Amino acid sequence: MFKRFKFIDNQMAIATRNSFRKAVVLSRFQDAGLLALIPSYPALQARYDLYHPAHESLVSGYNNWDSTEGVKQGDRVTVELLYTSAKLLLTDVWVPAILVLYKRLSARYKSIFPSGMSPFNSGGIDEKIESFNTLSKNIGLDTNLTTVKTAVDGTYSQLKLARNAQTGAKVSNYISSDALEVLRVNAMNLQYRNTGFVMDSLFEHRETILPLIIDLVTLREKEQSIYTGGILHGVTIDVLAHTFLDSDSIKVKIVGSGKFKLFLSSTSKGIDSTAISIDANLKTNILVSGFNVSDFVNHRFLTLMSESGDAATYRIELQ
């Protein structure tokens, strides 16, 4: 058997196989790099003209997918909150009202709740929602419980509507995900071909050009999401270097005292962005767009500045 030549495999496509976000980061880097290099290497104009539309389509597809992902997650939270509220109505209002008329050990109570509260606490969310429909059917035409049955029916209808909306959001997300996958592969294949073009047509300049159009740091970095460390009072430190998207967010908690500031800078320990203030001992969710930078290719150093009089520790989680 012949051993496979590793350069036959497109490393950009492989590295982004499970990360649309990483593909967009790599694409922004190459799109900006090609455009910047055209004055020095006019032969790259044709490659940019070919690549830029693919890049724009990838970013647009990612934004659409990211939007449907947010809707899907929001709908999931809505269903969970509605179900929690329904459970409280069941245990705090409806069951006590039923117990006024039918004791817990009576045959009628057992016909209403043949399995006790178990159906409302076990199984998947669809099974749990249907348990309210079953409760309504078990109450049936009992005129003593008309008010309870009406409330149960109304709650069941709310849960079904919310669940159907969540299911629809999932379908939209899957559809946009499939479309985005095609755009990812196309853009990464063009990056692979652009690499070949430089190696062939601009061979003598390959060491200069390739690092400026291929984001090697992002390409090679392992997915790390949590960063921890310490900071002495009154100093400024680099927390991490990472290529962000403006839609990203960061969770920060600093254990200590006083105030701190975060920057997303273009240089190590730099402060050339809008500062975001952090209070010690509070979990803070930060939108990367709050740093007010437009060039995420160069602004990739997360800088922490201490305005405290004491040493502190930090935990930063990339979302």
Share of the chain above pLDDT 90, in %: 27
Cα 66 to Cα 307: distance, rounded to the nearest angstrom:
36
pLDDT score of 52: 93
Share of the chain above pLDDT 70, in %: 89
pLDDT tens for residues 94-128?
888 889 889 988 999 988 898 888 888 887 777 88
Q: What is the pTM of this model?
A: 0.50
Cα 103 to Cα 99: distance, rounded to the nearest angstrom:
5
Domains observed in the chain: 7-221 (no CATH), 224-318 (2.60.120)
Amino acid identity for residue 218 in this structure: T
pLDDT tens for residues 58-70?
888 888 777 655 5
pLDDT tens for residues 259-280?
999 999 988 888 999 999 999 9
